[in-house]
Amino acid sequence: MKKKILIIEDEPDVVNAVKALLEAKGFEVSAAADGEEGLKKARMLLPDLVLLDLMLPKLSGFVVCRLLKFDDRYKNIPVIVITARTDERDIALAEKVGASDYLIKPVKPQVLLEKITDVLSRPPQSDD
């Protein structure tokens, strides 16, 4: 069974590059261009993983991550933030709203694939 990955990113070039990379590795990939659409798609598709930009139209990545992570139906979907934001406060906030990992753009394809493999191999988070 193919793992489903949802990319929530507003830069078409980034989406196309990541999508091509992941599909070549056998993933089923969907994309959304803004936070609102991304949240809807995440709820509808129940992906195995979300790749999330922080600076998005309509809803920020922080809000999308928080809405997914604080909802019992979606809280076990891992979220990897991929952003140009390097500020420590952004990294801390992403962790606080439930992001599994934080990558700073530009991300080397090999690094992205390693992170995805790592996050997908982790056991689901428990409530303790």
Q: How far apart are CA 5 and CA 87, in angstroms?
A: 26
| pLDDT, position 91 | 96
| Mean pLDDT calculated for residue range 40-64 | 97
Least confident of 50-54, 80-84, 113-117, 124-128: 124-128
Question: Domain limits of the chain?
Answer: 4-121
Round the average pLDDT of the chain to a whole number and report it. Answer: 95
Cα-trace Rg, the chain: 13
| pLDDT, position 34 | 98
Q: Which CATH superfamily is domain 4-121 in?
A: Response regulator (3.40.50.2300)
Instruction: Please list, in sequence order, all residues whose beta carbon lies within 8 angstroms of the beta carbon of residue 126, skipping any fewer than 6 positions away.
Output: none
